[in-house]
Amino acid sequence: MDKLPISEEMSEIWDRIRKTEEEGLKNILKHFDRIHDKLFSFNNILIAGYFAVSKLENKLAIEYILIPIANLVFLIYIEYRMLEKSRLESKITKVEQSDRDRLGDMISNTNLFSFLSILTTFIVAVFFLYHLLTS
């Protein structure tokens, strides 16, 4: 059995590490998409709940429906940012350096925006449950 020279072996190992890194990045984005899909669905349930509770109980003003709608707008904004990031990535070799810098900023802010989307949806749910339980 022939052994590869050390430099070729290291090159193959490095190539496998890079491939693993790329797969890891794809998986992170896939998980962000799954989380955002669930947040969209849950937020839509909250919108329906706000409508139902406001019609059943006169104590909850219909204007409170603006809270989950505002959260929905925020979730749509996050999806738009993810779309823009993917659009820039798809033509990374053809864009200017300033666009590549902007892409780097978008990537570094993805975790923050995803966390904020989870947090805002949680706050909307707690606010809804509070009004539901105190009615």
Encoded tokens for 31: 């998980």
- In angstroms, the CA 95 to CA 88 distance is 8
- Between 109 and 1, the more confident residue is 109
**Residues in Cβ contact with 114 at an 8 Å cutoff, skipping those fewer than 6 apart:** 32, 35, 36, 78
The pLDDT mean for the chain works out to 81
Please give the backbone phi and psi of residue 3, each rounded to the nearest 5 degrees, phi first. -100, 140
Q: What is the per-residue pLDDT across 36-95, written as a single tens digit (0 to 9) for each?
A: 889 989 999 988 888 888 777 766 777 788 889 999 999 899 888 888 877 777 777 777
